[in-house]
């Protein structure tokens, strides 16, 4: 009988000599930020008191049980990470779990999920409710990026 030898990275790393260097990881500064599962404090700091009043901040109000939210949130992460999707402008993403942050959901009158609200200068600029197709999301973001902050 033949025995199959399974090589596991855990076994391999345990048998390496001490002279072999391990791969080092480092973090670089990210141009745009994602604040996932924001608390009221993070929301206040990153959305209401944003450093740049002209920078678009997208807030995704969602819940873990919401099927359309599970489709929309990864799409929002992708398009806000790619400046080609937003006419070269950086866009921050803040996600708010409405089951955990009910006071924020009440303050912004969230009645259906997902609700996506755009902020500039700490003020709501526009919103949409429900999952929308990627091309429509891209066009909506470009419109919001080009808009002036509300007065």
Distances (CA, A) of 136 to 42, 131, 140, 149: 28, 10, 6, 21
Q: What's the structural domain count of the chain?
A: 1
Answer yes or no: is 47 within a domain.
yes
Going through the chain in order, the beta strands assigned E by DSSP cover 34-35, 56-62, 91-97, 115-120, 123-129
User: Which pLDDT band holds residue 87 (cuts at 50, 70, 90)?
Assistant: confident
Domain-located, residue 122: yes
- 52 assigned to some structural domain: yes
51 is a catalytic site residue: no
**151 within a domain of the structure (yes/no):** no
Domain of residue 109, residue span: 31-146
Domain membership of residue 18 (yes or no) is: no
Active-site residue (options: 56, 69, 104, 141):
69
pLDDT at residue 12 is higher than 50: no
Confirm whether 69 is a catalytic residue. Answer: yes
Q: What is the pTM of this model?
A: 0.78
The CATH number for 37's domain is 3.40.30.10
């Amino acid at each position: 009988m033949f025995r199959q030898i399974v090589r596991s990275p855990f076994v391999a790393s345990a048998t390496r000599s001490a002279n072999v260097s391990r791969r080092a990881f480092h973090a670089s500064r990210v141009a745009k930020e994602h604040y996932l599962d924001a608390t009221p404090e993070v929301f206040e700091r990153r959305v209401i008191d944003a450093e740049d009043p002209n920078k678009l901040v997208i807030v995704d109000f969602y819940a873990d049980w919401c099927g359309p939210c599970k489709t929309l949130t990864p799409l929002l992460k992708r398009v806000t990470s790619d400046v080609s999707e937003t006419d070269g402008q950086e866009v921050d993403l803040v996600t708010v779990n409405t089951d955990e942050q009910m006071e924020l959901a009440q303050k912004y009158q969230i009645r259906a999920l997902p609700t996506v609200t755009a902020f500039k200068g700490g003020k709501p600029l526009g919103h949409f409710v429900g999952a929308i197709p990627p091309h429509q999301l891209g066009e909506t973001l470009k419109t919001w990026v080009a808009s002036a902050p509300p007065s």
